[in-house]
Amino acid sequence: AIQMTQSPSSLSASVGDRVTITCRASQGIRNDLDWYQQKPGKAPKLLIYAAANLQSGVPSRFSGSGSGTDFTLTISSLQPEDFATYYCLQDHNYPFTFGPGTKVDIK
């Protein structure tokens, strides 16, 4: 199975900060990578699909980039509602695999 890593595992940031989260695949996955946001006690929410496509209804401060093995999720100006855990998911091969998550909390 393809292994996914994320860095950092957690970060502290302030409202208005630019935040970058990295996801790396153990082998090339083209652009078959999605990003999800999860808040405590809630289901995950799709933010970005196919590495760089913004899901309908998601604010434009979220963006994704990358292909092959290295991917990035960027939040251009962190808002209070963005404090959450973020996961990447590779959907290139079965079994699909999630990254371990990055928790973004308030500095």
Partner 1 sequence: QVQLVESGGGVVQPGGSLRLSCTASGFTFSTSAMHWVRQAPGKGLEWVAITSYDGNNEFYADSVKGRFAISRDNSQNTLYLQMNSLRAEDTAVYYCAKEHPGSTGALDYWGQGTLVTVSS
Alpha helices in 1-107 (DSSP H): none
The CA-atom distances, in angstroms, between 72 and each of 26, 42, 89, 104 are: 15, 23, 12, 15
Nearest to 19 by CA among 65, 73, 83, 75: 75
Window of 19-27, 44-52, 62-70, 75-83 that interacts with partner 1 by CB under 8 A: 44-52
Does residue number 68 form part of the binding site for partner 1 (CB under 8 A)?
A: no
Does residue number 30 form part of the binding site for partner 1 (CB under 8 A)?
A: no
Q: For partner 1, which residue of 20, 53, 63, 67 counts as binding (CB under 8 A)?
A: 53
Helix (H) or strand (E) holding 55: none
| List of residues contacting partner 1 (CB under 8 A) | 1, 32, 34, 36, 38, 43-46, 49-50, 53, 55, 87, 89, 91-92, 94-101
